[in-house]
Structure 1
């Protein structure tokens, strides 16, 4: 798999090259550029089948990432693009999704996330036309809305609905990602950016609220039974978590709210 890296920070480019070179994925960095203009000039010399992925920064001199992606799409309309972004630049990353960006990575780069992304890219299927659909484009289609931000809200609502329904099951980010048609890393970062909390924190809130309902509505249930009903196999851990979230033990909560 051939990759081009575009970032005006040399230390970032060299670091990515070094990380990728040590992966067991047969991935080759065939170009490394400090701005979008130089990268675009090289891309125009390549055939579409000679480039499998573009990893690019957003803020760069001469030609920023958004313009670069837009122009690169004229030649490489089917080539997956991954955006590098600082958390404060999420709005720019969101705009880039309009140009068919498949995912984005937050700086500093998480090696495991990069590995999983490249591995999934190698095995990722494409539709009959060969063009991959960006995560938010896919969400827009399912929500019936052409606004990228509305598409993101739809995905977050979909995630919440999934967790609200299956709070009692073992949490698997991969299974959750499958329901949205997105990569696990993208789902996790999108949820955090939209809600200000992690998926795990949201799930804990849901489980504790369900536990409160069981304590009040079914006072005959034992503590370990309620623990299992809300997805925790360890009642001791459940007790500690409940006290941290509710400010009291399940036993005290049951007494205070007895009907």
Structure 2
């Protein structure tokens, strides 16, 4: 809780500050003033939660100070210091909204009791206010603009503009950390920032930090705050921050968030464990996007089609390097990755490669990865898995070709499935399934077609051979079975076929 002490007597003022510091670490003295006017002059920069003021002071009494602060619309808690003869003044201060009063000389136990009481109220109100304000801010940021009526937007902005944060300038910081840091810990890192702020958990677990920017701040204040926040995190924490430029009024909040989100995506590409980026234009030039398309169409895909997987990996690495160099936004990156995956899927389909669920992990959503390095590595792994699948498909094709060639050379023999499987070092069941998948017919059907083609050739060229002898030469010892199979395949008996082609 941020506390200010106001008393015209320096001895009492300094003594109160020491007592408050002794009361506990959660109580922070952010200002000590000799008059109410001095506090009013600094009020916008301090934003205290609680003011402990003397009730009787020259020029401006404690009661007058309370009234002026209330008139400014500030939600600040007050307590007054009074002597034994000031009871009426103390009672009037309670009517004006003061939390309590303390009698001089101040007792430490009484002070601790008062601080605990006020701190409890401040925490409750802050929590309630953040929940309500956070919901309204989330509504502005994430609701579909087309479905959100304009009068709702106006009402939400009207409510938010009453908050101290939106009365002046502000900026948006978008933060992710790994491991994740909770809101309480983040608040601790910003405890000495004497400015209004709010932390909201946004999409993807990212922390949205809205922070007030004072008139006395300079152009690099937002960047400095982002850097300080990163520096205060534990040594093992990895973090990325994107920050917006400076805005005023809640109606500009979506613009501020959009800038911060764009800047965050830019920081996401950086390989440093902690990095922050500010709001600048992130639109990739058309020629650079065309370069990415060219690499895919003219280098990557042809290499895959030629089964040159080393060249394909080189082309893919070039694509990744180009994407990283341009730091294209997530939307463009996602579309590009989707295009690559679609082309690869088509190539796999052409080769009749069936993918089991989860067999290949090639991500297309950058948001799912902590940073570019992790995303790119997942993409590389996916490409390696795809190359292995295509290579396996090529090996399978070679196995089928070898079996076909063997059948063509030995079709007159009795060929058992085990014998064929041994030739290509596969199990009979796998070979049978693979052959059917690759050719669309069974091994038995293929063997029959080879035998019948050979029989047709003999019937055309060897007119002196009896039909049963033709059957024997192509592997059918039973003439009746040969005639039956031949007619099934050609629609004619061997004799009818010979007469037809004679």
User: TM-score with structure 1 length normalisation?
Assistant: 0.45
The structure with more radius of gyration: 2
